[in-house]
Amino acid sequence: MKTLHLPTHETFSSNHGVTRTNHDRPTSTRHRPACLMLAAGLLAAGAVTAVAQTTRPGMTPVERGRKLAQAAREMNATQDRIEARLLLQRGVKYLLAAQEADGGWASQTGPGITSLVVKALAQAPRVGPHHPAVRRGVQFVLRFQHEDGGIYTSGGPHKNYETSVALSMLAVLHDKQYEPHIRRARAFLQKLQWDEGEGKSPDDPWYGGAGYGRHKRPDLSNTQMMIEALHDSGLPPDDPTYKKALLFIQRCQMRGESNDQPFARGATQGGFIYSPANGGESKAETTDDGGQRRLRCYGSMTYAGFKSMLYAGLSRNDPRVRAALAWIGRHWTLDHNPNMPTRRSRQGLYYYFHVFGRALAAWGEPVVRDHAGRAHHWRHELVAKLASLQKDDGSWVNDQDRWMEGIPPLTTAYAMLALEAAFPQPAASRPTSAGE
């Protein structure tokens, strides 16, 4: 059965608004189950009916074109959702088979990877929070909760990271029995934040950030995970934790107008670096900025900062938000982590996919325009990219093994979480018991 190709960008964009081309839509039917083949067939069969229903006698050519463009957008979005569901189902099959006897995934690494996998499964179609594999995974993670409320490996360096991903996972289960665990983990994260309790004042570049633990310098990666976890767990948007974090986050933005750190003076990039601590740090090294060598912004941290500013309550028209969005447009790609040095541009790629999906879902627009004004339907491009990278067994893995991305359960969870952010299940369709 052929995949339906709906009217293209060239057909409608000149007079009737933006739609997209379909040249990069994944069309392979190699792993497509019968139910999705049927869904694609029904979509194709309904195309003619849908077009007929959007037009009527007496319509002007402009009105008809607009109606056709809208119908094309809606049908393309439906097909993207079908493709995403296929990818998720194959990812689910892999993860269920990869669960270890103790209930975890890559158990030797602690609770972090298992938390991400459980969250991906709990949000996946036809799995949900009550699936036996999810329940076993949750119990594995909760064995790591300490008296202080944190969920982490004893003696390990990743207290903030592990607690943050565990808290986000518990929050999506929507189960009252886990509320005490959620409250304790949330309080632990708030206590980890660098502020007056650690002798830091608002003029200190460490203020408001989070690191791997109480004595570790803060960075944007840990801070964005903390903010995402607090947001996911329902911390009210007026909580002071967000305001403190925002001060740290804006000091990671290479925008001299809002960043008071010496390394950002006169900077115009608009994207984000890894940390403002200790004179500033970027995993992407340096670049020319206004005739000076400055720390170079890069994709994963820019999407992380963009998302965190939105979660912290900045308006869509805030100049810091707009500067980050402009950077995203200038460096648009899903082929690698944007603006990283070429030799390292695929390191952390699946982390990038995850934060890309969460950030643009938070932004809430279906299209992002690049520096040349071209429209990018980000959900479609994400589906196409992840379809091209999925392995035959349903997993994803990064051949540039850094930050543990050579561990298939981790990268598979990142990919699935990105798709789930892009295509969230309506609440009414979420499974309520195992196997439903």
Is residue 70 a contact partner of residue 13, using CB atoms and an 8 Å limit? Answer: no
E-assigned strands of 219-297? Answer: 286-289, 292-295
CA 397 from centre of chain: 17
C-alpha–C-alpha distance, residues 300 and 135, integer Å: 31
DSSP classification of residue 152: S
* pTM listed for this prediction: 0.85
C-alpha–C-alpha distance, residues 242 and 231, integer Å: 9
3 state SS of 9 = helix
Is residue 238 a contact partner of residue 245, using CB atoms and an 8 Å limit? Answer: no
C-alpha–C-alpha distance, residues 311 and 73, integer Å: 28
- What pLDDT is attached to residue 9? 35
C-alpha–C-alpha distance, residues 125 and 18, integer Å: 30
- What pLDDT is attached to residue 69? 58
Nearest to 303 by CA among 235, 247, 363, 218: 363
Cβ-proximal residues to 431 (8 Å cutoff; 6+ apart), any chain: 125, 126, 127, 128, 129, 130, 131
Q: What are the φ and ψ backbone dihedral angles of 270, each rounded to 5 degrees?
A: 90, -15
- All structural domains of the chain with their residue ranges: 104-429
Query: Angle at which helices 179-192 and 159-172 pack, to 10 degrees?
Result: 150
C-alpha–C-alpha distance, residues 220 and 215, integer Å: 16
Cβ-proximal residues to 401 (8 Å cutoff; 6+ apart), any chain: none
C-alpha–C-alpha distance, residues 269 and 285, integer Å: 14
Is residue 115 a contact partner of residue 166, using CB atoms and an 8 Å limit? Answer: yes
- What pLDDT is attached to residue 11? 33
CATH 1.50.10.20 fits 104-429, yes or no: yes
- What pLDDT is attached to residue 410? 98
- What pLDDT is attached to residue 435? 40
- What pLDDT is attached to residue 12? 33
Q: Could you tell me the sign of the dihedral formed by the alpha carbons of 391, 344, 274, 320, in that order?
A: negative
* Cα angle, residue 270 at apex, residues 265 and 274 outer, rounded to 5°: 80
User: pLDDT (tens digit, 0 to 9) for every residue of the chain, 436 residues total?
Assistant: 333 333 333 333 333 343 444 444 444 444 455 555 555 554 555 555 555 555 566 677 766 666 665 656 666 678 899 999 999 999 999 999 999 999 999 999 999 999 999 999 999 999 999 999 999 999 999 999 999 999 999 998 899 999 999 999 999 999 999 999 999 999 999 999 999 999 999 999 999 999 986 667 999 999 999 999 999 999 998 999 999 999 999 999 999 999 999 999 999 999 999 999 999 999 999 998 878 899 999 999 999 999 999 999 999 999 999 999 999 999 999 999 999 999 889 999 999 999 999 999 999 999 999 999 999 999 999 999 999 999 999 999 999 888 889 999 999 999 999 999 999 987 645 554 444 3
3 state SS of 368 = strand
Both ends of the chain: CA-CA distance in Å? 28
What residues are paired with 11 via a beta bridge? none
Q: Could you tell me the sign of the dihedral formed by the alpha carbons of 82, 83, 88, 89, in that order?
A: positive
C-alpha–C-alpha distance, residues 97 and 79, integer Å: 28
- What pLDDT is attached to residue 2? 38
